[in-house]
Every structure is written in C-alpha cells, then in structure tokens.
Amino acid sequence: MAGQRAVIACSIMKKELEAVADGQSVDLYYLDQGLHRTPQVMPLRIQEKIDELAPLNHERICLGYGLCSNGILGVSGRVSPLTTPRCHDCIALFLGSNQRYQEMFRKNPGTYYLTAGWIAESDDPLAAVEGRYAERLGLKKAKRAMDLELANYTHFCFIDNGLGDRAAVKARTLENCRAFHKEYAEVQADLTYFRNLVALEVPRDAGDFITLPPGSALNEAMFYQVGEPGVF
C-alpha cells in the first residue's frame, strides 16, 4: 500500500497510538497484552501478524514493542522494511524517550509504572492477585507471592497520558499503593516516541529506532548498537 504503513503493537498502547495516528497514513493492529507473559511465543505471534499483512504490501511495518524479555527477537518485516523502537522496556515509549526513562530510573529505580492500558487490561498487580494468581494459588497465597515480586519496589507511578478517564486510572494506582504499602507517584506522559513511530519518516538522529530492510531479522545486538550497517 503505497504511502501506507502498519503498526503492530501491544494492546496496552491503543489509546496513545490512536491519539497520535489521527490524520496519518497508518493502519493500527493490536496483539494481546498477555503475550508478555510468554516471551518465547511472542515473536511467533508477531511474525504471524506480519505475514498475514504481507499481501497488503505496506510501505513499512512498525512494531509497538520494546525488546520485552527478547520477545521480538528473530522478527522480520518479510516484504516490507521493519522499524522498531530501540528500547528495552516499553515504558520508555510512554515517557517519550529512552533518555527520559533512564533518567527517571536512575533517580528512583524502585518505581513500578502503571498506564491506562495496563489498568484497562486488568494487569496491574492488584488485578493480577485477584485474578490469575488467586485462581492458581488462592487469594492469601497470591497476595504473599505478589508481595515477594514487589519487594524491591518503593513506588507505584501513574503515567498520565491526558486521555480518557484519568481519575479512574489514578484511583486504581492508589488502590495498588494501599494494597502493597507503596508510595504514590505521578508523571506526565510524553507521546513523542509514539508520534515518531507512526510518522511517515522515522527520525534517525537520536538512535531511538532500529530500521531493517525487507527480510532482515531483529537480533539483540541491534538494541545496543547505533550506526551499524542496516541499523539506523
């Protein structure tokens, strides 16, 4: 599709991507957030979606994923160039850049970030305890298991994207704080990374993206190298 690009992203990014895609020549496709819990399956599902779109001959395929526990390694654009954010944690996308995420991590490494998408998918820690953990362990053991998982965290931080029912997302973040005895924090989202992802021309000067020619596959080294052949 001449001039048309496709973005394949985790469903937690739906609000942000739809906000920045308005008026752009881009098709948006979402995959189940639960794939993050099976990183060995995740690249297979992403590749299946890319292959499904191949007959449409998009000008470019973009991924709305970070490295995500190596869950996108081996993925190829097949017949279209492939662009993906050069970040390890998708939280960088919500914060606008890798640089801002790293700065915030250095200031407070014990921060657990929550967005409208995570809350909507019922995958915040409290929802996990009340849902899939409780089904497997029972509520009391589920709570203890999550307390152990969160032992190194000191804060829950609401990333306010300025979209939708922000008060409800904030309230749910506060519920998590009370349930797990963490401090509350709040930061403003920056949609720049999302805007650049859906833009017709991906900026190449900041090293925030990896772009590969058709048929080339993502490997782990690309997330550490800037300026290598075929990696912009």
What is the structure's pLDDT at 202? 57
The set of residues, in sequence order, having a beta carbon less than 8 Å from that of 22 and lying 6+ positions away, is none
Those residues of the chain that have pLDDT short of 70 are 1-3, 200-206, 225-232
What is the structure's pLDDT at 204? 52
- The rounded distance, in Å, linking the Cα atoms of 75 and 107 is 33
Give residue limits of the domains in the chain.
Answer: 5-88+192-223, 98-188
For residue range 115-159, what is the model confidence (pLDDT) as tens digits? 999 999 888 999 999 998 999 999 999 999 999 999 999 999 999
What is the structure's pLDDT at 139? 92
What is the structure's pLDDT at 225? 61
- The pTM score is 0.91
What is the structure's pLDDT at 232? 38
Per-residue DSSP letters for 100-145? HHHHHHHH-TTEEEE-HHHHHTT-SHHHHIIIIIHHHH-HHHHHHH
